Structure 1
Amino acid sequence: MAARVGLWMVGAWGGVATTVATGLSALRQGLSEPVGLVTAKEPLASLPWADWGDLTIGGHDIRETTYAAEAQVLWEKSRVFSPDLLNRVADDFAAWDQNIQPGVLVNVGDRIRSLAGEKSRSYLAESPLQAIARIRKDLENFREQHRLDRLIVVNVASTEPPVDPALAELDWPQLQKLLGASEPIKLPSSSLYAIAAFECGASHVNFTPSVGTDLPALSELALTQGVVHCGRDGKTGETLLKSVLGPMFAARNLHVNSWVGHNIFGNLDGKVLDDPANKATKVKSKDHLLTEILGYKPQTLVSIEYIESLGDWKTAWDHIHFEGFLGTKMAMQFTWQGCDSLLAAPLVLDLVRITELEARLGSKGLLPFVGSFFKSPMGCSTPEFATQYQQLVEWAQLRQSQFEKK
């Protein structure tokens, strides 16, 4: 297809975004096979996806760095890229660096605010409405400069603290009014980015546990603006395994007494999650799944610890204590070790492709069929991974049949 597609990442110089940029450049140049991309295997592969060469990257970040510098850190601390690959993607890095703008610090929490550079700190006093206006201007300038046909905003920033539950009681007119009040409502920056995206007609993907578009008011705004969105919190490791193993225990009528998950990792996200306020959002996203799958709540413990020396590698150790026939108690343990950004980046590219296709076709509102990508999927009717993936397959088959009839 001959269309220009913008990928605007919030947290644009973070580990996930840097890996997305590295992977996109490698795919554009034919330097890597699309391993890890769901859209590269049938029945999804035959759909008319945007070409990798049609995508260009921009974004917001509160830090001041470059893609080359962040990729070098990933190489030095985690050995996830080769120096030769980084040399070959350097030109794309340099071009995309020019599109990164200072991020928003409104209601992000103390830990995230502490990471901000001078440029972002110059906007510390801006109101929510001023932040939305600035984000929207950056998005519109990016669209105009690169003559984009479609724009997808993807949040891959650090996890924010929990929000006031009262936000879920507001419709869009009420929320909009409160944003402009003399003492504005405390809407987090993840939602401000989403509002700006919707107002300028861009799609939105929330790959983080932060609330983002997961509010009735923002779902209403998306429908009004005729844009698509999805989220919340990319499902890449331990929770992915829970969504596969949990249904096995339920199907075999084995009673899970307790499930303990201990997570350690050392990247920037881990540093942010070392703050109890930010950690609370992530733990909630990881811990609700088993109750939904099993139909009862076993004793659970989810711990997340920052171990700096691990870099981008994360380890999850899980202990499952369950009861079988005649009250016999048994146990299962597993260890998951993976590179956080390398697990997440291909899913981000998949979601960009899927979101772009739906936007191209004129869809609007939530995309419930992408539940297999998320820990807390919005609009998804089931928590089981196999069923969620089948919903994605059925969507792909439906779209393929529609294209074949044209």
Structure 2
Amino acid sequence: MTAWGAYGGQGAVGVWLVGARGSVGVTTIAGTAALCAGLVPPTGCVTARREFSSLELPRFDELVFGGHDIAPTGLLERAERLADEGVMPPGLPRLVRDGLLAAEEEVRPGVAGTGPGPGGRSGRPPGQEEAIRRLTDDILSFRRRLALERVVVVNVAPPGPAVPPRPAHASLSALRQALAAGERVLPDGALYACAALRADCSYVDLAPPPGGELPVLAELAVERGLPYAGGEGGSGGALLRSALDPVLAHRALDVRSWSGGRVRGGRRTAREQVSFEGFLGARMALRFSLQGCESALTAPLVLDLARLMALADRAGVRGPVPELSFFFGGPAPDAPDGREGPLEERYAALVDWAHGLSVPV
């Protein structure tokens, strides 16, 4: 058993959070410490269900946290603010103080503002290649110092702006040439993905930029022999869409638009509206709201994805993992008409995939 007062050691699995000091990151770290102390049940954790009980997933007390962030506010102070906002129970930050401080020791400065600019070149040091090397070294140092069996990198930072397609996004050879030439061709979020994969860590992106992930990242994951997954996960809108979109599709109703605000942070009310067309062109709409906290929905999924990706890494899974689409708000790979498949089918596929992994003894 890995004690929270003594990070690392045999059997420990690192969870490196990009955006560690954000609401999702802090809720994940504090929540895991609370789980290990027996203060709370694993509510919202899919992998705590009986369907996954026989799998060799890392235990919650075997997860060790670190990460990157550009925010100056420490994990403990951030947790106290979240408790004041009602995101976590009052007094919890004090009860899990040691876990938060231990994780704080493993947080390193992130990167910002290195993304593509006009013309694709940067006159501002450091370049993107240098930034990737520095991020990679941070992750490697984390794994080496704490003697971790493996590390899963999960991006829980807010999504960055959309980046126009570039030739360097299409292939690894083109990307390497562009980076070597000092071009700024990647969004900041992709720098973390490159660093994770170069450090031989599986990677999950819960904050892809608008328009989705870059094909070159999936190619890099295959080349490095590592599992890779990404999509919008955990938000209230994603949760509701995953349930409602298949229903509307099965009823052959033509969805025209789905709009709503993406909320992160404290307790808020998020409003969503789906407009669709019925028989004889009748225009209709569903309006609903979700009152609560986005990070409380996302944090248990971070734990699920970290545990499953650690298992997939042990089993030698390479490249994108479509079975993890259950956790994301986007359409399942190869779904007809780009729609999401029925949620129960996606869950069954996830369970079958997890049980079918062959893990070396």
TM-score of the aligned structures, taking structure 2 as reference length:
0.86
Alignment of 1:277-288 (within 5 A): none
- Structure 2 counterpart of 1:107, from 99, 114, 139: 114
Q: Is 1:127 matched up with 2:82?
A: no
- Structure 1 counterpart of 2:15, from 1, 7, 20: 7
More helix by share: 1
Q: Is 1:79 matched up with 2:86?
A: yes
In the aligned structure 1, how far is the partner of 2:103 from the partner of 2:169? 39
Number of the residue aligned with 2:4:
none
Number of the residue aligned with 1:318:
273
- Structure 2 counterpart of 1:350, from 304, 315, 321: 304
Answer whether contact 2:235 2:263 (CA < 8 A) is retained.
no
Answer whether contact 1:18 1:71 (CA < 8 A) is retained.
yes
Number of the residue aligned with 1:92:
99
In the aligned structure 2, how far is the partner of 1:10 from the partner of 1:264? 19
In the aligned structure 2, how far is the partner of 1:86 from the partner of 1:93? 8
Name the count of aligned residue pairs: 346
Q: Is 1:362 matched up with 2:316?
A: yes
Per-residue CA deviations over 1:64-96 (Å, capped at 9, x if unaligned) read 1211111111122x2122233221100011111
SS at match of 2:53: coil
Number of the residue aligned with 2:225:
226
- Structure 1 counterpart of 2:53, from 16, 38, 45: 45
1:107 positional shift: 2.8
SS at match of 2:232: coil
1:388 positional shift: 5.1
Per-residue CA deviations over 1:346-375 (Å, capped at 9, x if unaligned) read 111110011001001111111110112112
| Runs of at least 4 residues off by over 4 Å | 326-331, 377-380, 382-386, 401-404
1:263 positional shift: 2.2
Q: Could you tell me the percent identity over the aligned residues?
A: 34
SS at match of 1:48: coil
RMSD of equivalent CA atoms: 2.8
In the aligned structure 2, how far is the partner of 1:164 from the partner of 1:328? 37
In the aligned structure 2, how far is the partner of 1:140 from the partner of 1:125? 23
SS at match of 1:160: coil
1:198 positional shift: 0.9
Q: Sort the Cα spacing of 1:132 and 1:266 in 2 relative to 1 into closer, same or farther, 3 A.
A: closer
Answer whether contact 2:264 2:293 (CA < 8 A) is retained.
no
Answer whether contact 1:262 1:317 (CA < 8 A) is retained.
yes
The letter for the 2-side match of 1:390 is: E
Task: Give the unaligned 5+ runs of structure 1.
Answer: 111-123, 268-310
Greater mean alpha carbon deviation, residues 155-164 or residues 351-360: 155-164
Greater mean alpha carbon deviation, residues 344-353 or residues 1-10: 1-10
Q: Is 1:33 matched up with 2:41?
A: yes
1:344 positional shift: 0.7
In the aligned structure 1, how far is the partner of 2:178 from the partner of 2:285? 51
TM-score of the aligned structures, taking structure 1 as reference length:
0.77
SS at match of 1:96: helix
Number of the residue aligned with 2:120:
none
Per-residue CA deviations over 1:91-140 (Å, capped at 9, x if unaligned) read 01111100001111243599xxxxxxxxxxxxx73111110111111111
Number of the residue aligned with 1:171:
171
SS at match of 2:289: strand
